[in-house]
Amino acid sequence: MDTLPGLPFDNSYARLPERFYARLSPTPVAAPRLVKLNRALALQLGLDPEVLASPDGVAMLAGNKVAPGSEPIALAYAGHQFGNFVPQLGDGRAILLGEVVDRDGVRRDIQLKGSGPTPFSRSGDGRAAVGPVLREYIVSEAMAALGIPTTRSLAAVTTGEPIWRDGELPGAVLTRVASSHIRVGTFQFFAARRDTEALRLLADHVIARHYPEAREAAEPYRALFEAVIGRQAALVAKWLLVGFIHGVMNTDNCSVAGETIDYGPCAFMDAYNPETVFSSIDQQGRYAYAHQPSIAHWNLARFGETLLPLLAEDNDRALAIANETLGTFRDRYVAALIGGLRQKLGLSTEEEGDAALAQDLLNAMTDGQADFTLTFRRLGDAAADPLADAGVRGLFTNKPEAFDAWIGRWRERLTHEPRDGAERRAAMHAANPLYIPRNHRVEQALSAAAEHEDYAPFEELLAVLAKPYEERPGLEAYAEPAPPDQGIYRTFCGT
């Protein structure tokens, strides 16, 4: 094995007991080719981009070589999938290469996704197609640029091998970076086995890694639960504020670090409708846009159940602590959401009617079938110039009078604000992106890559999304929603 310098692995999770994971190396592929390397992220991680882009580096990113210091493992976890508990899931097509401590002193996982079968594959091939790999790269990096906690994408490599789903597709491997890959489902794995020792070890590991302040609390495991609730409440509010729909909020896709993880059938709304669902497998709308806060609450309740043996020796007392703690979720979520909506509406002060003002706009957008992203963005222009009202009104194609009934109330509310129009416009544009991963643009990029090995649309889309709040001449088409004749958009899991 050739030497791969510049990979300072320090693998704390691999030092936990063997029942937390399976040790194995990735399965080599035929002809790895680097499609994309996130050089800025590599530098942030303290890695040398030139090493990663070298033949040996690409071999590592494809799973053909194991770098010194790496201790490859597939993590064990369970999970509720669409409400049904599965006691063993685990990394069926992903292998954690190890951990690095980045330039800010933050420990980060480096994982290969699509790296071959593991003991958790459940008869799957452990591989990924280039389309889902590039989708996760695009959307996760867009989320990072939007300021939303997320896993990141370090590299995408094609394998030179076909994989079979509905037909033959080109294979690929994603290198994913996360604060950790520990999920609610990881705790459920051990709770289902009544392995209290493992639960305590896992909780202590999470506290040390993500919530060190909890260690000093009078009740550390309660403090852990409170901290995870706080991060999930803030995260889901941020999703709703940009029109993001995760699509598959199973407990095994709920990160205890509070990051967005597992970009399968995810998408961003065009026209606002709170019942929007894109996932082809979500037939009942369980994970619709507006259901995401209640699902986060449900997932956190499952997390609280796993912590009961750690919260108190007496089960009734433990249950009371868990319920009391879980009860803080709604207020935290609502505060985060309303605070974000105030920013989106250009409000720097707080008044009692602000929540109703925001909700009435959302109701009008639903009636008018107005584009979510562009409505808020153009309101920023209208804040500085009332003549720009027409640009917002034009988005309410189905019922423009719904906008007419609302705009006067907003303008009256702005008279209570200290900022002038130009300042308010700048503040609103800083809170309301112009460019999001429009579904039709994502599909164009994926189709060009999968069908023609043309990665130019992928690269251009990434460049646009890297600065989502900054208007740039020549990119107007990237701000526009899908053409009306696109029809109903459906997304699919990447497995």
Question: In the numeric block, which tokens belong to residue 144?
Answer: 């990072």
User: Is 124 part of any known ligand binding site?
Assistant: no
Question: In the numeric block, which tokens belong to residue 296?
Answer: 């986060």
* Radius of gyration for the chain, computed over Cα atoms and rounded to the nearest angstrom: 23
Helix ranges (H only) for 312-415 are: 315-326, 329-344, 354-368, 372-384, 389-393, 400-414
Q: H or E stretch including 311?
A: helix 292-311
User: Is 381 part of any known ligand binding site?
Assistant: no
User: Is 167 part of any known ligand binding site?
Assistant: no
What one-character-per-residue DSSP string does 56-88 give?
A: HHHHHHHTSS--TT---EEE---EEETTEEES-
* Of 333, 295, 332, nearest in space to 184 by CA: 295
With 0-12 CB in 10 A as exposed, 13-18 as middle and 19+ as buried, what is 389?
Answer: middle
Beta bridge mates, 111: 96, 176
Map residue 267 onto helix, strand or coil: strand
Is 252 a known active-site residue? yes
Determine the residue type at 144.
Answer: A
d(Cα 66, Cα 43) in Å, to the nearest integer? 20
User: Is 126 part of any known ligand binding site?
Assistant: yes
d(Cα 285, Cα 305) in Å, to the nearest integer? 25
State the sign of the Cα–Cα–Cα–Cα dihedral 412, 418, 419, 420: positive
d(Cα 11, Cα 281) in Å, to the nearest integer? 36
Q: How far is CA 252 from the centre of its chain?
A: 13
User: Is 183 part of any known ligand binding site?
Assistant: yes
d(Cα 177, Cα 106) in Å, to the nearest integer? 12
* Of 248, 243, 275, 285, nearest in space to 263 by CA: 248
User: Is 10 part of any known ligand binding site?
Assistant: no
Catalytic residue (choose from 56, 166, 195, 252)? 252
User: Is 65 part of any known ligand binding site?
Assistant: no
d(Cα 151, Cα 329) in Å, to the nearest integer? 23
Phi, psi of 73 (to 5 degrees): -145, 150
Strands 94-101, 107-113: pairing kind: antiparallel
Map residue 459 onto helix, strand or coil: helix
Strands of 350-474 (E only): list them.
none
User: Is 125 part of any known ligand binding site?
Assistant: yes
Measured distance between the N- and C-terminal CA atoms of the chain, rounded to whole angstroms: 31
Active site residues per annotation: 252
Binding-site residues from annotation for Mg(2+): 253, 262
Binding-site residues from annotation: 90, 92-93, 113, 125-126, 176, 183, 253, 262
Binding-site residues from annotation for ATP: 90, 92-93, 113, 125-126, 176, 183, 262
